[in-house]
Amino acid sequence: MVIISPEVFFSTFVIVLGAIFGSFFNVCIYRIPNHLSIMWPASHCPVCNTPLKPWNNIPILSYLFQRGKCSFCGAKIHWHYVIVEVITPIVFFLIFYKSDFKFTLFFAKNIFFFSIAIILFFIDSFHKILPDILTIPLIFIGFIFTFFAKDISIINSLLSSIIVFAILYLISYIYYKSTNKIGLGGGDIKLFSAIGAFFGFQGVVFILFFSSVLAVFWYVFSKMKREDQLPFGPFIIFAAFLFFLFGNNIIQSYLNLFL
């Protein structure tokens, strides 16, 4: 008789749950920027509008069995669909791992943040927007989670969120008035405000620094044209996950250099 440990059982559950949620996130990524309801109509091919059967909606497997094509009209399914369905269970598992394989408020808080973050990552990548319908509620839900989870103080959460919003908004306003060009977008500022609510001052500083460095490297090495608009949201979100996984260790290693 094979005995499955609770960690393995619940990890498997979290991974399967992540794949299912990943499928739903794809609906959000497609519909939210197009101002469509995420609840109705049921999933359908965006090319031929044929409603999908249950077996067309199995995360990851349906994409592979259908060879990346609609089984009704043969239209290609965009690669990001399967990427989201692969990334989401990995992210869910790593959050569960960092939560010591326990379903705690810390787990719920980070699952919520990075679920919205995955959706924002791809919406900003494709449409260069971070919709208010996602970023603004994220700020206030961050305060609520922090109040109960207590991994950072509510004062830290509130002040970090308000201060980073005020500073980045001021910098963005001055830049716009000086150059008549938009530098940091409003969606980016709201996302940073949400990061302050969820991760506090340390998180804001870490994520602001690393997201900026990553964006500069991408801009230089991808050989983008000067007039091209670089969506900053994906870099913010990647840096946020980097902070979640390794932030404390990186910060402590840096501080040890001066001790």
pLDDT confidence band for 13 (50 / 70 / 90) = very high
Q: What is the pLDDT of residue 45?
A: 80
Rg over CA atoms, the chain: 20
| pLDDT tens digits, one per residue of 38-96 | 888 788 887 888 888 887 888 888 888 888 888 888 888 889 999 999 999 999 999 99
Summary count for the chain: helices (H), strands (E): 8, 0
> Over the stretch 213-226, which tens digit does the pLDDT of each residue have?
999 999 888 877 76
- The stretch 169-197 carries a mean pLDDT of 90
**What is the reported pLDDT for 6?**
85
In this structure, the number of other CB atoms found within 10 A of the CB of residue 17 comes to 16
Selected residue with higher pLDDT from 189 and 42: 189
Measured CA to CA in angstroms, residue 45 lies from 70, 75, 205 at distances of 7, 9, 42
Coil/strand/helix, residue 76: strand
Q: What is the mean pLDDT of residues 3-14?
A: 90
Q: Which residue has the higher pLDDT, 137 or 228?
A: 137
> Which element (helix H / strand E) includes 29?
helix 6-31
Q: What is the 3-state secondary structure (H, E, C) of 39-68?
A: CCCCCECCCCCCECCHHHCCCCHHHHHCCC
Q: Say what the pLDDT of residue 239 is.
A: 98
Residue 6 tokens, joined: 């609770």
Of the candidates 80, 79, 70, the residue with the CA atom closest to the CA atom of residue 28: 80
- 131 to 73, 138, 215, 255: CA distances (angstroms): 31, 11, 20, 37
User: What are the C-alpha distances in Å from 237 to residues 38, 155, 178?
Assistant: 22, 23, 28
Structural contact between residues 71 and 43, judged by C-beta atoms closer than 8 angstroms: no
> What are 138-163's pLDDT values in tens digits?
999 999 999 998 889 999 999 999 99
Pairwise CA distance, residues 60 & 22, whole Å: 9
Mean pLDDT of the chain: 91
Q: How many residues does the chain have?
A: 259
Tokens representing 259 are 């001790």
φ and ψ of 69, to 5 deg: -130, 155
What is the percentage of the chain residues whose pLDDT exceeds 90?
A: 64
